[in-house]
Amino acid sequence: MIKQSDFITSNKSNWCPGCSNFSIRAALIKAFSELNLDPHNIAMVFDIGCAGNACNLYNTYGFHGLHGRTVPLAVGAKLANNKLVVIGLAGDGGAYGEGLNHFIEAARSDFDITLIVSNNKLYSLTTGQASPTSEKGIKTKSTPDGVKKTGLNPLLMALSAGAGFVSRGYANEIDHLSEIFKKAISHKGFSLVDVLQPCITLDKINTREWYKERIYQLDNKWNNKDRNKAIIKVQEWGDKIPIGIFFKGK
Ligand code: SF4
Query: The whole model's pTM is what?
Result: 0.97
User: For a pLDDT cut of 90, what percent of the chain falls above it?
Assistant: 99
Q: What is the pLDDT of residues 51-88, one digit of tens each?
A: 999 999 999 999 999 999 999 999 999 999 999 999 99
Q: What is the pLDDT of residues 90-130, one digit of tens each?
A: 999 999 999 999 999 999 999 999 999 999 999 999 999 99
At residue 136, what are phi and psi to the nearest 5 degrees? -55, 135
CB contact at 8 A, 187 and 151: no
Q: Can you give the pLDDT at residue 250?
A: 77
Cα–ligand 1 centroid distance for 126 (angstroms): 10
CB contact at 8 A, 193 and 42: no
Mean pLDDT of 191-208: 96
CB of 8 closer than 6 angstroms to any ligand 1 atom: no
Distance of CA 45 to the CA centre of its chain: 12
Of the candidates 157, 156, 150, 116, the one whose C-alpha atom is nearest the C-alpha of residue 133 is 150
Residue 201 CA: which ligand 1 atom is closest?
8
**pLDDT tier for residue 145 given thresholds of 50, 70 and 90:** very high
Ligand 1 atom 6: the closest Cα is on which residue?
15
User: For a pLDDT cut of 70, what percent of the chain falls above it?
Assistant: 100
**pLDDT tier for residue 137 given thresholds of 50, 70 and 90:** very high
